[in-house]
Structure 1
Amino acid sequence: MTGVETKPAAARPEISAATWRLAWVVALGAFASGLDTSLINIALKTIQDEFDTSLRVAQWVSSGYLLALAVSLPGCAWLGRRVGVGRLWLGALAAFTVISALCAMAPTMEMLIGLRVLQGLIAGLLVPAGQTILGQAVGPGKLGRVMARLGVAVVLAPAIGPFLGGLMLHSLSWRWLFLINVPIGAVALALGLRWIPHEKGTATTPLDWAGFSYIGMGLPLVVLGMTDWGSDGSPKPLPVLLPLGLGVAGLVVFVLHATRRRHPLLDMSLYRSPGYSTASVAFIFNGALTFGCALVFPLYFQMLHGNGVVETGLQMLSMGAGTGIMLPLSGRLTDRYGGGPISVLGTGCAVVATTSFSVMGADPSPALVQALLFLLGMGTGMASTPLVISAFATVPRDRLPEATAQINILARLGGALGAALFAVVLARGLLGGTRHAFHVAFQWQCGTAFAALANTLFLWLTLHRSGDGGTPQGGPHH
């Protein structure tokens, strides 16, 4: 690595059993929220039939959750300081579990959508609070390995969700897709009460209500515009451009407000660090690729190959397996070599996989498809943890709540953008036939992967120039 020695594996700081327990408890809470999203997506048609409504109305069970999630994320840092991040995580998990049970008992579609919005507001606090707990508890040179455990839960839950949901819907009511969160949440809560720090909050400045209003308007409107854009192959311009324009305006006003306010809702000064800002941009592209692939490939198996829900879930397991294998390994590699080279390696694997899909024939070998999905899962899994660690590397410990909130906001925006983009590409491509639609979608995937690779290369160069290897404060540099 440019002639500079790295620390041998034996010299890296050891991670205590107590820290691993903490990581697994936080990961269990993240798994519950991630699993909930992927389970419900596969059940929308069933819920639509149950309440005898349109699919456009039923989609709000999912999109209402996403919009609420985007709204609550900015307030997580302030709440963490106010009540204590450990107490915030425990309270959010308890509320998420109770609301899951209420969703299962919802008598009307309106009640279900309202409960999902409330559940999204709570879920928006759960994952960033968990990341902050780990960031504050873990010492230098160890955060990559520990954060990878949380990443496994976050990424694997959507990967296994379609298969598990298909199995459950085959023999059970859709209501069990919500009830499954109750035992998971109860176990995580019992363990959390024992091992999660219960520190009290500290005196903090009043909540920046003006900033919260700007970003609380901007984020949902941007996501709503993207959702409407992706819901039809030829949408009317006004329902798309109006929320998008208002949303972007709200975000611009928020940034201007935050740069001028002494105690803003989110600290924009973090972006003065070249490593943090470039890692954030790379995180958007990686999120767009990950969520875009999660949209395209289930449809690829169902629409092009005629697979059922359960079989499609089985086909998607290879991508989840690749991600699950690489996430822990990428954390170890990041602790040793820094986030730059590992994120480049991950996005490089994604480029190889997506390029192969874009040039393959009409009837590829099933074994080849599974191998490429496994490689794609490896690539996205290998890239995600180093990007988070690279962003955290330049952030002081007391500013980790702001950093985790911002990283999660960027992930949601990147994911929404990727899902909306690929939905439009598919919908418009279907005018030329199903095979043509997926061929074009794979080409867009390839382009997104190349953009992600370009950004991670720039991140590596930025970290190298700044002397910040992308490892958390004091970790080994390359």
Structure 2
Amino acid sequence: MTNSPPGAASDKLGRDVFIVAGVVVLGAIMSILDVTVVAVAQPTFMTEFDTSSASAAWSMTGYTLALAAVIPTASWAASRFGTKRVYMASLVLFLVGSVLCAMAWNIGSLVAFRVIQGFGGGLLMPIGMMIMTRAAGPERVGSVMAVLGIPMLLGPIAGPILGGWLIEIASWHWVFLINVPIGVIALVYAFFALPGGDEEPGKKIDVPGLLMLSPGLALFLFGVSSSAEEQTFNAPRVYIPMIIGAVLIAGFIWHAFRTTNPLLDLRLFRNSTLRVSVITMSLFAIAFFGASLLYPQYFIVVRGESTLMAGLLLAPQGLGAMLTMPIAGKMTDKIGPGKFVLSGLVLIAIGVAAFITLGTDTSYWFLCGALFVQGLGMGMTMMPIMSASLATLRGPEIADGSTLMNAIQQTSSSIGTAVITVIFTTMLMPLSRAIMQAGGDPAKTAGAMVENGVNVQDPAAVGAAGQSVISDIASTYGNTFIVATALVVLTLIPAFFLPRKKMVVEGADEQSVPVAMH
């Protein structure tokens, strides 16, 4: 293995780093795509397994809860067994879970196998970030995050397209089987490409911390996720697990500041750059992932498009991100993330605000243009925030920082999705009551139609309410985007405090260890 001299790293990522990046991106693609691809398959699961939408949704919720439970162990596992071993073991577990999911015979078995898949997928992103950050060195962490950002931002866009296409040409089984060839390639690739030798065999796991943080996150996210089904946060199934989870997380925070080797070193929050980055990432993930839930719903429910077409209509968002992300990554290394993140958030706010005007026949050119502007902003925002959080960390701090940011992103994304869903369904309630009072079929109220994917452009499907229903639902989407826009604007406050010059830490030359290939 060849090491670059300290301080000698150029701004460009070398061939060796790109070779390592290849295997990390493959793993990230599988883990992230699997969330959105399965979302597309929900109606198919309801039909194939003769189950309700609430039961089918557990195929997504179970995976999310598994991610939340396993992510906190990433830092310890990487130190104890080495990043290469943990990454390869995660790939194997993810592949086994994928094959089992394709063999599921009912919704219960599918959910159980999705949990197994989630235990593997949960470690792929945080471990991948550790590998990439160490390989490139702190001077080029922005460029590294730009590489990793491609699957993170394109996953929600490519997932509906891929999932809809696979279900149309083959069967739901291929939603999971598609992971097998990609995973096998990634596994062989990882064996030869990833550097090893970074383990600490004597490091022990923080058992009390593990017993508090992992179940705490899982319970909290279970409550948050249940709010979408209950259509309120004021339900025992929602607030009881949320409270228990919050108490366990608070207990871990108290414990982490009083033990020598906590499961997750929260003392990193003393780093002002990391602290501001975490706050910015939390608000950004709530706003962005919450709003992302609404775009395909609008195209499918209001405009009557197929899942595949809805995915294609979201493509301009990905194209915009692909244009700005590499530039923002390189420039972040040189001048810091502050200017890019602020500019990106302004573009995202403009793009999201355009959807406030939604109607039944809003121009697709206008909407795709707004999504493209959002994409330009996304490429300038998400990964520079990640870069800011990791660029000032050294040695073992990188593992804790990577784990922390992934846990924050996962939790915030789930909160954003739940909050926007509850707001949307709450706004729909008056419309649903009006239809029922007018003698409409309760099974065909606006809320039920949205949940079951009824094409509300078909007058026969919406009953006596006719075309007025679709207009009201479109307006409800637009009103919900007012909240999403406000959340994006709110993110500008912590983003204002991100560094606006190159981030340099004293002693970095002695502590940074850029790693090249074997």
Deviation at 1:216? 1.5
Partner of 1:418: 416
Partner of 1:313: 311
Partner of 2:223: 225
CA contact (8 A) 1:76 1:129 kept: yes
Q: Which of 122, 125, 143 is matched with 2:123 structurally? A: 125
Deviation at 1:374? 1.0
**Which amino acid is the alignment partner of residue 106 of structure 1?**
A
Partner of 2:344: 346
Unaligned runs of 5+ in 1: 1-10
Per mean C-alpha deviation after superposition, the further-off stretch among 180-189 and 390-399 is: 390-399
Distance 1:471 1:310, change over 3 A: farther
Per mean C-alpha deviation after superposition, the further-off stretch among 174-183 and 377-386 is: 377-386
CA contact (8 A) 2:146 2:383 kept: yes
Q: Which of 446, 450, 469 is matched with 2:485 structurally? A: 446
Q: Percent identity?
A: 30
Deviation at 1:325? 2.5
Deviation at 1:396? 1.3
Cα distance in 1 between the residues matched to 2:233 and 2:401: 36
Partner of 2:296: 298
Partner of 2:403: 405
Per-residue Cα deviation, 1:266-321 (whole angstroms, up to 9, x for no partner):
00100011111010010111111221122110111112211111111111111122
Deviation at 1:204? 3.8
Cα distance in 1 between the residues matched to 2:507 and 2:427: 44
- The alignment partner of 1:243 has SS state of helix
CA contact (8 A) 1:340 1:469 kept: no
- The alignment partner of 1:231 has SS state of helix
Deviation at 1:391? 0.7
What does 1:79-228 correspond to in 2, within 5 Å? 79-199=77-197, 201-228=199-226
Deviation at 1:235? 6.2
Cα distance in 2 between the residues matched to 1:108 and 1:373: 38
**Which amino acid is the alignment partner of residue 17 of structure 2?**
T
Partner of 2:459: none
Cα distance in 1 between the residues matched to 2:478 and 2:127: 40
CA contact (8 A) 2:81 2:201 kept: no
Per-residue Cα deviation, 1:171-205 (whole angstroms, up to 9, x for no partner):
21101000000011111112111111132521343
Distance 1:76 1:321, change over 3 A: same
Partner of 2:256: 258
Deviation at 1:139? 2.3
Q: Which of 468, 473, 476 is matched with 1:437 structurally? A: 476
Deviation at 1:347? 0.9
Per-residue Cα deviation, 1:225-267 (whole angstroms, up to 9, x for no partner):
1111122434652111111111111111110010111111000
Per-residue Cα deviation, 1:47-96 (whole angstroms, up to 9, x for no partner):
12111112111111110000010000010110101110111111111221
Scaled by the length of structure 2, what TM-score is found? 0.85
Deviation at 1:386? 0.8
The alignment status of 1:455 with 2:453, answered yes or no, reads: no
Partner of 1:8: none
**Which amino acid is the alignment partner of residue 438 of structure 1?**
Y
Cα distance in 2 between the residues matched to 1:188 and 1:358: 42
Partner of 1:32: 30
Per mean C-alpha deviation after superposition, the further-off stretch among 107-116 and 404-413 is: 107-116
Partner of 1:4: none
Q: Which of 325, 343, 352 is matched with 1:327 structurally? A: 325
- The alignment partner of 1:266 has SS state of coil
- The alignment partner of 1:458 has SS state of coil
- The alignment partner of 1:96 has SS state of helix
- The alignment partner of 1:198 has SS state of coil
- The alignment partner of 1:197 has SS state of coil
Per-residue Cα deviation, 1:100-159 (whole angstroms, up to 9, x for no partner):
112111222222111111111111111110100011111242221122111102221221
Per mean C-alpha deviation after superposition, the further-off stretch among 323-332 and 333-342 is: 323-332
CA contact (8 A) 1:70 1:412 kept: yes
**Which amino acid is the alignment partner of residue 253 of structure 1?**
G
**Which amino acid is the alignment partner of residue 312 of structure 1?**
A
Cα distance in 2 between the residues matched to 1:362 and 1:353: 19
CA contact (8 A) 1:391 1:470 kept: no
- The alignment partner of 2:196 has SS state of coil
Unaligned runs of 5+ in 2: 1-8, 432-471, 513-518
**Which amino acid is the alignment partner of residue 477 of structure 2?**
F
What does 1:69-84 correspond to in 2, within 5 Å? 69-84=67-82
CA contact (8 A) 1:228 1:239 kept: yes
Cα distance in 1 between the residues matched to 2:361 and 2:156: 27
Cα distance in 2 between the residues matched to 1:130 and 1:192: 11
CA contact (8 A) 1:351 1:453 kept: no
Cα distance in 2 between the residues matched to 1:321 and 1:118: 33
**Which amino acid is the alignment partner of residue 443 of structure 1?**
I
Cα distance in 2 between the residues matched to 1:220 and 1:423: 20
Deviation at 1:20? 0.9
- The alignment partner of 1:260 has SS state of coil
Cα distance in 2 between the residues matched to 1:242 and 1:331: 42
Rg (Cα) greater in structure: 2
What does 1:3-42 correspond to in 2, within 5 Å? 12-42=10-40
CA contact (8 A) 1:73 1:408 kept: yes
Scaled by the length of structure 1, what TM-score is found? 0.92
CA contact (8 A) 1:134 1:146 kept: yes
CA contact (8 A) 1:232 1:427 kept: no
Deviation at 1:380? 2.1
Distance 1:154 1:234, change over 3 A: closer
Q: Which of 376, 390, 397 is matched with 1:378 structurally? A: 376
- Once superposed, what is the RMSD of the aligned Cα atoms? 2.1
Distance 1:473 1:319, change over 3 A: farther
CA contact (8 A) 2:348 2:488 kept: yes
Deviation at 1:98? 2.4
- How many matched pairs? 461
Per-residue Cα deviation, 1:204-234 (whole angstroms, up to 9, x for no partner):
4321111111112211111111111122434
**Which amino acid is the alignment partner of residue 373 of structure 1?**
L
Cα distance in 1 between the residues matched to 2:376 and 2:507: 23
**Which amino acid is the alignment partner of residue 356 of structure 1?**
A
